[in-house]
Chain A
């Protein structure tokens, strides 16, 4: 039966190769062979061709060469009878298809046809996925909040089924890409008709109306091994093994299949991604190319998602509180506009706060939810706005006072992940909204309590044994409790401020990324948070308490060998062991010698600007040029993959205002260029640090993209502002 698949895959590849060639020639006729092309915001040329062959396609002429690689992979269809083997040939054809599709999409982009626009509705598809989005999602890929990827090709039998399938994927936290169509109908259109929110925030990303657009999803996948895996372009075996072992993607094929779907599927199978269809197709069960089945079928749409997840070998543990709305990170990005809002709390409109408080075991009644306030039900039913004080009391034998803030930060995610609930801010600056739809589904204040008690106990299961929630609604009581909370906040900040690299005995490693970037190890110190910005020292400590064999391990500091550069015997020993000798020594406070390595999901990159005797900092997502002569995407390519690259380093944003920021190189005074975005978002803390360093106006002396995008202009600007770096000791 597989012969049918192989035949279709081989035939489809031949067709796509031809079509790509035709479109490419058209583009060349229009623009010329030397026309330079790159997909928007990527450092990896045509990523699939680049990863597989190492050939960087830079011009339309290069595409001709690359299409030649596809031609070498084409085969003849197997004979009717006494056929020769076809599996290897079909997989090669699948790869030819991916190359041809990539060139076809590139040529379409050149001709102004991408991203595709739906002619009926005017809906603009996502098209090519940028490096920035890939890196933005980095931490979610590794910490389990985005455990897998689905590519849905085609259309469900009806709109409601489409919604059901996609909601199930959302609830399982899976990122879903949509492409292809069945006679013009597609899941994208089905969801649009049903008013389902599409986009990165809801984790449903329509790529384009044709099957060939699925390639954008595969281009996203292959960049995981380039960016996080540090695999070399052209080392196709390493890339494909990484994809098979670590990128948990699969395809759901809805509706009838054709040669193009089969051949695209054959390409995906090369990467270890299986496909499950809802029609009666031939199946391929023997394993080994994929981890489990390559091609399977499931007619029951209520089972197809689970089937696909299992066929890919994926385990998804979703803890969901017992509330009447959907729950999961896919709903986290959802906004509630005023007209959709039923009620709101805080946000300068009413008094509000949230406070996690450690209590003794006997002071907490597990699961108890108390709502304090006269007529609170009536007030809530009326909608509009009301005061809200959230006091979450936790107790546990392994609970520590320092973990209060770690748990409290979870309040934000816990609320946001409920569909129709929205949260921002923190502490006494919080702001919560409940939508009309959520109210209609039956959400009450008690559900807020349920969310906390379920999710806190789940997330922090080994440090919290009991959770009790008290919700205050009466203005007076809220303000009174808020005063108590404020005392606690102040005390906490004080303790945290006193926590320095010198004052703690232990640092922590962060190995969370090792599911994607197996050669990188983060060292998190009291004054240096993880480069992804998501984990600070307290988080790591709490994570270790929760799971002693998990992704965060204690690193005893050992002896301080070099106080200027921040070199500790314990850190060196740990790294030597945990990287198998790849990293022998680490200096925490310098960029110049044995600096920290990177996984690929750093928030910012620091790079040395030798001409200016300082460093520049650019954040992920900044698309402009920098004085280092490279854009973020290119710079990022030089720091990922667990390599120490003196002069370049990935960091978390908040490290910039740490006292230990490049302390050995001269600290923040070395910053000569920083994006406007960073300057604005860090202003308050930065100014305070600058004052401590004796240069109160430092922020304005630092250039940004409006002042300079090359080193010449930068120098001009710096001498104009009298930047201290120019007078400091040479960095090199």
Chain B
């Protein structure tokens, strides 16, 4: 491999480790990405391998018009089918996670585990209210049981609608109804997706793509939302915490354990047990000063949001973390675990511990995690890490100062609270700020980071540019990991980089201009926030039409596609950055996703490689929405509410709509 001095990660601490790795002859995803070019046919969606008459590749000058697979499928059918399968896989991933959470809540409700309890009973009661479960006189555990059973319906209901669909604004739901995409249940939609994309079933691209939206709604408004809500109930609803991010969080004189993956159940138990005196004593007996827990990927976000556990960062950091040489054990569960870490760990002393019965990697130590005996599994993992501590060598690249402070913990509930406290909590100030032009709009900068680009680079430039132009940024998942490591998740970032209007809002509330809202399933928090903004009034009365855009600048996972689809179906335009569009081969499919969907749902998908175009497109959507809502035109530094002064007649007319006395 040729050694060019090309930036591989825009995270400087990461870049140092990558360079060190190269000097040591260690191979990471960054080198593999250079070596393994994407297959151009598959990348653009033109490869069909759903049956074994092929794989068929529909290429050529007039492929869209002329090329056909063996069965006669054209590019549009193939691209749409491939796309729908991605959505199904992404939905399955989030929703299987959600199902585990529901089963854990059920176990708590049925008294089958003592290792978890109900940390936020108020949230449980709110959920019960949404689910129309009468609670009077019932014990919390019983409420938990009933809520869990009710939510479990969302996975295998045959007909009907998702429990949480009613949390969406009515007008948003009307659009779902009109276009036949009211999701029934996770399993039902995913199975149907797999069926329809099987050889010789559904061939109409628009019809296939509508099912992609329908399937994704089961992700956003069921699988993911259930996951978020139950995690909050079991482990606490996040509120702001101060913590640290990046590789400097590891400690040279303590046992370092990394929790990596997605589901918070095991990580929460590890958080619980690392402070147990016996384990700390045990660590000391091995020469360590203590036990240091850190997170990686979305598990990191879960424990950061709720406990301030430091994060070593996003997806592309997982190998680099091991290369610090300080990780005594990395426990993984599901999703976004590179198999490469097992091989890499063999070059260091690090133990990779797989814990999920669903996810095994050859060469890893497997300690099966059982939520009924969670703490026992957790202790085993911690002991294994401690036992491994004496095996540490000097090998590794570690710079202690490579870390940044982070403010995280912006749940829906806290965002509402922070705008008025206990007594006046609402979304009025946020809506007002948008109406007055202090905040131009809201962008969710979410999704994976990607070694094919200078990793985290697009994230960083887009965020800085957006906040400079008074766009409030919300982030989840690996985006949040990137911003944490970059030091952007601090209130000081507003003073350094935000436009004057956004700065006023940040200063009034005391927030960073980029709000860390959690893991990738927590994108569901953005859905409920958007619904609350619609209900608050003054902006759009549905999610669609809000001056809000989603951007996944460095996406790679099928989960990102599923998330984007449920946002599009709910009314949010989503722009993917980075590589090629996975449906680039079909103009028809591209048109359906952009123009046709926008007309129907006010949400859509774009794939745009050029980050500058991503930015201008996002701002265009925001300004278009502002104009449609007849809001003050955004002008940097010029904002404010035009005062409507009230005389007595106007004061009598407050709430007149309910009392139409005029004209009687």
The smallest C-beta distance from A50 to any residue of chain B, in angstroms, reads 15
**A84-117 at interface with B (beta carbon < 8 Å):** 84-92, 94-95
Chain B residues lying within 8 Å of A580, measured Cβ to Cβ, are: 658-659
| Contact call B655/A518, Cβ cutoff below 8 A | yes
| Contact call A511/B652, Cβ cutoff below 8 A | yes
| Stretch from B15-23, B48-56, B109-117, B426-434 at the A interface | B426-434
Q: Is B525 an interface residue (CB 8 A)?
A: no
Q: Is A52 an interface residue (CB 8 A)?
A: yes
Cβ contact of A86, chosen from B504, B505, B509, cutoff 8 A: B509
| Stretch from A285-293, A458-466, A689-697 at the B interface | A285-293
Chain B residues lying within 8 Å of A315, measured Cβ to Cβ, are: 645-647, 650
| Contact call B508/A511, Cβ cutoff below 8 A | no
Residue on B nearest A310 in the bound complex, by CB: B643
Instruction: Given A88-B422, A91-B424, A288-B432, check contact A143 B492 (CB 8 Å).
Output: no
| Contact call B648/A86, Cβ cutoff below 8 A | no
Residue on B nearest A579 in the bound complex, by CB: B659
The smallest C-beta distance from A203 to any residue of chain B, in angstroms, reads 17
| Contact call A515/B648, Cβ cutoff below 8 A | yes
Q: Is B1 an interface residue (CB 8 A)?
A: no
| Contact call B645/A284, Cβ cutoff below 8 A | no
Chain A residues lying within 8 Å of B654, measured Cβ to Cβ, are: 245-246, 515, 518
Interface string of A272-289 (1 = CB under 8 A from B): 000000000000111111
**Whole-angstrom distance between the alpha carbons of A147 and B405 in the complex?**
50
| Contact call B423/A270, Cβ cutoff below 8 A | yes
| Stretch from B78-86, B165-173, B178-186, B412-420 at the A interface | B412-420
**B392-440 at interface with A (beta carbon < 8 Å):** 405, 407, 414, 417-426, 428-433, 436, 438
Cβ contact of B242, chosen from A82, A89, A91, cutoff 8 A: A82
| Contact call B423/A514, Cβ cutoff below 8 A | no
| Contact call A551/B429, Cβ cutoff below 8 A | no
Q: Is B490 an interface residue (CB 8 A)?
A: yes
**B634-664 at interface with A (beta carbon < 8 Å):** 640-641, 643-655, 658-662, 664
The smallest C-beta distance from B464 to any residue of chain A, in angstroms, reads 19
Residue on B nearest A72 in the bound complex, by CB: B422
**Whole-angstrom distance between the alpha carbons of A284 and B428 in the complex?**
15
Q: Is A396 an interface residue (CB 8 A)?
A: no
Instruction: Given A85-B418, A92-B422, A286-B438, check contact A577 B660 (CB 8 Å).
Output: yes
Cβ contact of A78, chosen from B510, B643, B644, B646, cutoff 8 A: B510
Residue on A nearest B430 in the bound complex, by CB: A288
Chain A residues lying within 8 Å of B422, measured Cβ to Cβ, are: 73, 88, 91-92, 95
Chain B residues lying within 8 Å of A248, measured Cβ to Cβ, are: 646, 651
| Contact call B419/A515, Cβ cutoff below 8 A | no
Q: Is B491 an interface residue (CB 8 A)?
A: yes
Residue on A nearest B657 in the bound complex, by CB: A580
Most A Cβ at <10 Å: residue of B414, B423, B507? B423
| Contact call A512/B652, Cβ cutoff below 8 A | yes
Residue on A nearest B640 in the bound complex, by CB: A285
Q: Is A591 an interface residue (CB 8 A)?
A: no
Interface string of A655-696 (1 = CB under 8 A from B): 000000000000000000000000000000000000000000
Q: Is B511 an interface residue (CB 8 A)?
A: yes
**Whole-angstrom distance between the alpha carbons of A419 and B419 in the complex?**
46
| Contact call B429/A92, Cβ cutoff below 8 A | no
| Contact call B661/A288, Cβ cutoff below 8 A | no
| Contact call B420/A289, Cβ cutoff below 8 A | yes
Interface string of B318-353 (1 = CB under 8 A from A): 000000000000000000000000000000000000
Instruction: Given A87-B510, A287-B432, check contact A514 B405 (CB 8 Å).
Output: no
Q: Is B240 an interface residue (CB 8 A)?
A: yes
Instruction: Given A91-B423, A144-B647, check contact A286 B432 (CB 8 Å).
Output: yes
Instruction: Given A2-B508, A270-B424, A313-B646, check contact A87 B240 (CB 8 Å).
Output: no
Chain B residues lying within 8 Å of A87, measured Cβ to Cβ, are: 418-421, 508-510
Q: Is A155 an interface residue (CB 8 A)?
A: no
The smallest C-beta distance from B643 to any residue of chain A, in angstroms, reads 6
**Whole-angstrom distance between the alpha carbons of A704 and B407 in the complex?**
69
**Whole-angstrom distance between the alpha carbons of A437 and B436 in the complex?**
49
Residue on A nearest B507 in the bound complex, by CB: A2
**Whole-angstrom distance between the alpha carbons of A317 and B649 in the complex?**
12
**Whole-angstrom distance between the alpha carbons of A84 and B509 in the complex?**
9
Q: Is A550 an interface residue (CB 8 A)?
A: yes
| Contact call A515/B423, Cβ cutoff below 8 A | no
**Whole-angstrom distance between the alpha carbons of A515 and B653 in the complex?**
7
Chain B residues lying within 8 Å of A81, measured Cβ to Cβ, are: 492
Most B Cβ at <10 Å: residue of A78, A85, A287? A85
**Whole-angstrom distance between the alpha carbons of A578 and B507 in the complex?**
44
**A147-187 at interface with B (beta carbon < 8 Å):** 147
Q: Is A236 an interface residue (CB 8 A)?
A: yes
| Contact call A314/B641, Cβ cutoff below 8 A | no
| Contact call B652/A551, Cβ cutoff below 8 A | yes
Chain A residues lying within 8 Å of B646, measured Cβ to Cβ, are: 248, 313-315
Chain B residues lying within 8 Å of A79, measured Cβ to Cβ, are: 242
**Whole-angstrom distance between the alpha carbons of A92 and B650 in the complex?**
31
**Whole-angstrom distance between the alpha carbons of A82 and B493 in the complex?**
10
Q: Is A142 an interface residue (CB 8 A)?
A: yes
**Whole-angstrom distance between the alpha carbons of A570 and B19 in the complex?**
88
| Contact call A88/B420, Cβ cutoff below 8 A | yes
Instruction: Given A270-B424, A286-B429, A287-B436, check contact A85 B647 (CB 8 Å).
Output: no
**Whole-angstrom distance between the alpha carbons of A143 and B658 in the complex?**
21
| Contact call A84/B428, Cβ cutoff below 8 A | no
Chain B residues lying within 8 Å of A84, measured Cβ to Cβ, are: 240-242, 407, 510
**Whole-angstrom distance between the alpha carbons of A320 and B619 in the complex?**
51
| Contact call A95/B421, Cβ cutoff below 8 A | yes
Q: Is A308 an interface residue (CB 8 A)?
A: no
**Whole-angstrom distance between the alpha carbons of A521 and B656 in the complex?**
13
Chain B residues lying within 8 Å of A490, measured Cβ to Cβ, are: none
| Contact call B405/A52, Cβ cutoff below 8 A | no
| Contact call A143/B417, Cβ cutoff below 8 A | no
Cβ contact of A577, chosen from B414, B433, B505, B664, cutoff 8 A: B664
Cβ contact of B651, chosen from A284, A287, A515, cutoff 8 A: A515
The smallest C-beta distance from A387 to any residue of chain B, in angstroms, reads 39
The smallest C-beta distance from A237 to any residue of chain B, in angstroms, reads 8
| Contact call B510/A2, Cβ cutoff below 8 A | yes
| Contact call A91/B652, Cβ cutoff below 8 A | no
| Contact call B509/A85, Cβ cutoff below 8 A | yes
Residue on B nearest A79 in the bound complex, by CB: B242
Chain B residues lying within 8 Å of A648, measured Cβ to Cβ, are: none
| Contact call B643/A285, Cβ cutoff below 8 A | no
**A550-573 at interface with B (beta carbon < 8 Å):** 550-551, 553, 555
Residue on B nearest A147 in the bound complex, by CB: B648
Residue on B nearest A578 in the bound complex, by CB: B661
| Contact call A288/B510, Cβ cutoff below 8 A | no
**Whole-angstrom distance between the alpha carbons of A646 and B643 in the complex?**
44
| Contact call B426/A288, Cβ cutoff below 8 A | yes
**Whole-angstrom distance between the alpha carbons of A130 and B347 in the complex?**
81
| Contact call B240/A85, Cβ cutoff below 8 A | yes
**Whole-angstrom distance between the alpha carbons of A120 and B139 in the complex?**
62
| Contact call A286/B433, Cβ cutoff below 8 A | yes
| Contact call B405/A286, Cβ cutoff below 8 A | no
The smallest C-beta distance from B449 to any residue of chain A, in angstroms, reads 23
Q: Is A732 an interface residue (CB 8 A)?
A: no
Question: When A and B form their complex, which 8 residue pairs have the shortest distance between CB atoms, in order from nearest?
Answer: A288-B429, A91-B421, A315-B645, A144-B648, A515-B651, A288-B432, A86-B510, A88-B421
Q: 19 A-B Cβ contacts within 8 A?
A: A78-B510, A79-B242, A82-B405, A82-B492, A83-B407, A84-B240, A85-B407, A85-B509, A87-B421, A88-B418, A92-B422, A143-B648, A144-B648, A287-B429, A289-B420, A315-B645, A515-B648, A577-B661, A577-B664
Besides the known contacts A87-B421, A246-B654, 19 further A-B residue pairs in the complex with CB atoms under 8 A apart: A2-B510, A3-B507, A81-B492, A82-B405, A85-B491, A86-B509, A88-B421, A285-B504, A286-B433, A286-B508, A287-B641, A292-B643, A313-B643, A314-B645, A518-B654, A518-B659, A521-B661, A578-B660, A579-B659
B residues with a Cβ closer than 8 A to A are 240-242, 405, 407, 414, 417-426, 428-433, 436, 438, 490-492, 504-505, 507-511, 640-641, 643-655, 658-662, 664
